[in-house]
Amino acid sequence: MGKLDGKVAVITAATSGMALATAKLFVEEGAYVFITGRRQDALDKAVKSIGRNVIGVQGDAGVLADLDRLYDVVKRQKGHIDILFASAGMGEFAKIGEVTEEGFDKTFGLNVRGTLFTVQKALPLFNEGGSIIMNGSIAGIKGMPSLGVYSASKAAVRSFARTWLLELKDRNIRVNVLSPGTIDTPLLEGFGSEGKEALRSQIPRGTMGRPEEIATAALFLASSDSSFVNGIELFVDGGTAQV
């Protein structure tokens, strides 16, 4: 018997890395999963890799019309949602003197605006006692040069959780933030070997996290194992932000 037997989950931006690993684990634990991705080819590949109990819906979490289409598919196929993992996010490197209006709007448009409406538009379908998980980052509590806009956007997501758990308490919907540290995903390839080594050296345990380690933390927050856990920011970072 799986921890998520009979549950319906929605995971945005789940074509690779942490979110894809989470979708796979949720299905293994008994859930039916809807995943999104901006590129149809990557989405089709992700659906094939998950293999069963999954529907892919092409779309951008920062585009409200795409979110409406996602939830229309969920409503027609399953009629309700038990778990939402609002995973979509992005960031750009720019020191304060280099930040552009376009760059700011892109980051806040997806990380903050997109997360807000991903959650808001899911609520009419949410079962009582459901679980909302939002993707944070250790950058939300650490000073990281050139990541000020990204860090601020993740701090905003953390703030959402504190407010929304109170607004949704009558429906017993829990709201938590999952904040990864440095995870070994394809996104790190742009750092090069020296950059990756510099990131690894900051992790107390001495190795980067794996996507599967984020997935097991997401499973905890999604399942009844965390029934008394609400409004937290769960750091899965090997200790990086804790020292």
List active site positions.
150
Residue keyed to tokens 């953390």: 158
Exposure string (b/e) for 164-173, b if CB count within 10 Å is 16 or more? bbeebeeeeb
Distances (CA, A) of 21 to 74, 75, 92, 162: 21, 24, 24, 27
Distances (CA, A) of 160 to 21, 52, 228: 25, 33, 19
Token pair of 212, please? Answer: 């599967």
Asked if residue 155 lies in contact with residue 141, where contact means CB atoms within 8 angstroms, the answer is yes
Q: Cα angle vertex 158, ends 157, 163, to 5°?
A: 95
Q: DSSP letter at 16?
A: S
What is the distance in angstroms between the CA of the first residue and the CA of the last residue of the chain? 38
HSE-CB of 68 using CA atoms within 13 angstroms: 3
Token pair of 166, please? Answer: 């109170």
